Amino acid sequence: MEKTEGEVLKERLFNTKKSGWNGMSEEENRQVFQFANDYMYYLNQAKTEKEIVQFSKEILLKNDFKELKDVESLNPGDKVFWVNRNRSLYIAVIGQEKLENGLKMVGAQGDSPRIDLKQNPLYEENEVALLKTHYYGGIKKYQWATVPLALHGIVAKTNGERIWISIGEEETDPVFYITDLPPHLSRGGQDARKLSEGIEAEELNIVAGTMPYEDEKVSEKVKLNILRLLNEKYGIKEVDFTSSELEFVPAYKARSIGFDESLIGAYGQDDKICCYTSLRSILEVNNPTKTAICILTDREEIGFCGVTGMESRSFERFIIELLEKRGENTPGMIEKVYSNSQAISADVDAGFDPTFSSYYDTRNSCRLGHGVCICKYTGARGKSGASEAPAEFVAEIRRIFDENKVAYCSSELGKVDKGGGGTIAVTFANRGIDTIDIGVPVLSMHAPYELTSKFDVYDAYRAYRAFLQQ
């Protein structure tokens, strides 16, 4: 049947977005699922910012990237990286044009919300050894009780030794646990608390053990027994917790979700989903016009601060070294580079959740399976704190995506008075770099187990690759 004039006109003028699964070829379907398997493997290998840097570095070395310090001078096509204190990673593929003409950057973050140990964590109460914690990032605290937790991190000793600890990822490993009251006891008391106070921060205590050290003469026998075990296995004493970074993360593995297996459930997809997709994309960037940069930063979840966060001038150290090794480092050059540069802040967005539809503006929300979401501005309540991308830059992004058949939608984080949030976009914009947020929709963001679409993972990889290769 021939289309009516109105139908043709509507097709031409309306901004109608379809699910990426519609009309997908068998070959593309195979690629989407293969990519998702690779991504889930990456998630299972790297659950913390340090493991993201470590594992990503291994991938870079296998793909002919070199450490920047080992390279005397840089030429177009060269592939290098710099690791900042084992916690953030900056990668470059040198372009044909001078750095002065600007860089193309994609920045994601390897840290995710989690439960950190306090520096004086171990105590014993009623013959149970417990660990005090301080949560990291914005979490709904009640979600983290009664969940199997794995322990990842490092203990730095005064002799310079650094001990890596990972307990709870192997099938035969023990895991850790935060308790909650049974419903039989919480009626009238805990049940009447507000949801945000269901479990309070000082109730996020980790159960560490119950077996006593056999000696009638000593007190705190269970605590002593735990310290004995830690000392035998890792050579540490209680005081060594002072200089430790020990993080509890869900012990779950990444899994396919749903009868059709179209979704992914995993811990830390915010923002390891953008780490993996941007890393994979820069692996495939060859001889770009402008120098392509991929950043896996740290400390996004607590405000981009600290020496490994995106606000730190550690980033300048990397760019200046690139300039030096290209023979372009003249006074004021870095500002010139920035003013000609463009960046994607690669971070997730809150995907539309039909169960909680009243929290979203349905016309301005990203949907699972509809590709990457372009977020022109973040911020909250009146765009407060937003770096907002200029319309001209958004148009250029649209052109790149259209030319490369990248699916995208435009979104913001929930209803105006209800939602909002911030990303590292502002740290690029403050440096004079045109910046936009482009990421992947996630359901149950910041929960111990987050939900994404396999189509969107693949689409993000294609989006970042198209942008960097330009």
How far is the C-alpha of 372 from the C-alpha of 15, rounded, in Å? 16
**Residue 196 zone, left/alpha/beta (φ > 0; ψ -120 to 50; rest):** alpha
Q: How far is the CB of 39 from Mn ion (least distance, A)?
A: 18
CB atoms near residue 96 (< 10 Å): 13
How far is the C-alpha of 28 from the C-alpha of 455, rounded, in Å? 10
Using the contact rule CB under 5 A, the part of the chain among 187-195, 267-275, 394-402, 457-465 near Mn ion is: 267-275
Short-list 369, 188, 346, CA closest to 264: 369
Q: How far is the CB of 270 from Mn ion (least distance, A)?
A: 4
Q: Rule CB under 5 A: say whether 388 interacts with Mn ion.
A: no
How far is the C-alpha of 277 from the C-alpha of 272, rounded, in Å? 8
C-beta of 254 vs 346, nearer to Mn ion: 346
C-beta of 49 vs 321, nearer to Mn ion: 49
Q: How far is the CB of 446 from Mn ion (least distance, A)?
A: 6
Using the contact rule CB under 5 A, the part of the chain among 52-60, 208-216, 269-277, 385-393 near Mn ion is: 269-277
Using the contact rule CB under 5 A, the part of the chain among 114-122, 264-272, 310-318, 378-386 near Mn ion is: 264-272
Residue 279 carries which side chain, given as an amino acid letter? L
Q: How far is the CB of 391 from Mn ion (least distance, A)?
A: 26
C-beta of 99 vs 445, nearer to Mn ion: 445
How far is the C-alpha of 39 from the C-alpha of 37, rounded, in Å? 5
C-beta of 321 vs 437, nearer to Mn ion: 437
Residue 464 belongs to what H/E stretch? Answer: helix 454-469
How far is the C-alpha of 304 from the C-alpha of 314, rounded, in Å? 12
How far is the C-alpha of 361 from the C-alpha of 359, rounded, in Å? 7
Q: How far is the CB of 278 from Mn ion (least distance, A)?
A: 16
Q: Are the C-beta atoms of residues 397 and 410 closer than 8 Å to each other?
A: no
Residue whose beta carbon is closest to Mn ion: 270
Using the contact rule CB under 5 A, the part of the chain among 71-79, 262-270, 319-327, 375-383 near Mn ion is: 262-270
Q: Rule CB under 5 A: say whether 270 interacts with Mn ion.
A: yes
Q: How far is the CB of 427 from Mn ion (least distance, A)?
A: 15
Q: How far is the CB of 303 from Mn ion (least distance, A)?
A: 11
Q: Rule CB under 5 A: say whether 111 interacts with Mn ion.
A: no
C-beta of 270 vs 456, nearer to Mn ion: 270
State yes or no: cis peptide before 271, omega within 30 of 0.
Answer: yes
How far is the C-alpha of 45 from the C-alpha of 440, rounded, in Å? 21
Footprint of Mn ion on this chain (CB under 5 A)? 270
